[in-house]
Amino acid sequence: MEEALYDSRALRQFVGIDLGREPDETTICKFRHLLEAHQVGERLFAQIGAYLTKQGLQVSRGTIVDATIISVPSSTKNRTKERDPEMHQTKKGNQWYFGMKAHIGVDSQTKLIHSVAATAANVHDSQVLPKLLHGQETRVWGDSAYSGQRNVIRQHAPHAKSFIQAKAHRHRSLSEAERARNHTKSKVRAKVEHAFLVIKRIFGLAKVRYRGLAKNTHWRQISCGLANLYVARRQLVAGT
């Protein structure tokens, strides 16, 4: 950030400083710690949501829930010479990952993120489901990791109908009808991947940047708010 402010006139104008007055790395880190201490990320995420609602981009009655793994760099070049103790490993397919999970609840119509949570990578997706529902849903979509959570959905979104994908078991494969229903559900559920695309590919936030879940949760809240502005950019520009 220090180098970016020095190189970019547009960034200096955005933050309101002149050439030669760029803050150094220490000042920027202290400012970030101040934001974390006052939980500004959570408030900023809520503020962006309220702004988008005023612009007519309201949250509908459908929610898509999902989680993505955010890997931790393998380097142990730090004071303790060890990996972050708050991060853990998990297996996805035949691959092991070490890091955290970003959990989000996305509106099925606008593709905007309305809920966000962060956990260690070994926490099962279904355990975070209550935090991803706003309570007014009439439909909830999710992959097979959320199967068996009908009671949880009913408890936190009483009027919601579950469209969670059916899961095959070791001694019971899916029927043709179940496969067809899963395929239909996937057409809606796939919208959640757009939010992850913006955060991990367009913003380049595919790896954990800080040590500890608290710091990374704060950054996830900010990045999800910015992702919502990015997704809604055309509607916002058209309305000005």
Which pLDDT band holds residue 121 (cuts at 50, 70, 90)? very high
Residue 89 sits at φ, ψ, to 5 deg, of -100, 155
Q: Residue 43 is encoded by which pair of tokens?
A: 């408030």
Q: Which residues contact 94 (CB under 8 A, 6 or more apart)?
A: none
* Contact criterion met (CB below 8 Å) for 127 and 229: no
Write the pLDDT tens digit of every residue in 104-114: 999 999 999 99
| Residue 39 identity (one-letter amino acid) | Q
Average pLDDT of 27-50?
93
| Residue 225 identity (one-letter amino acid) | G
What percent of the chain clears pLDDT 90, i.e. is strictly above it?
67
Domains and CATH numbers, the chain: 59-239 (3.30.420.10)
How many CB atoms neighbour CB 68 within 10 A? 17
What percent of the chain clears pLDDT 70, i.e. is strictly above it?
97
How many CB atoms neighbour CB 125 within 10 A? 20
Nearest to 17 by CA among 2, 35, 30: 2
How far apart (Å, rounded) are the C-alpha atoms in residues 42 and 38? 9
Please tell me the predicted confidence (pLDDT) of residue 192. 95
Please say if the pLDDT value at position 67 is more than 90: yes
pTM score = 0.89
How many CB atoms neighbour CB 98 within 10 A? 19
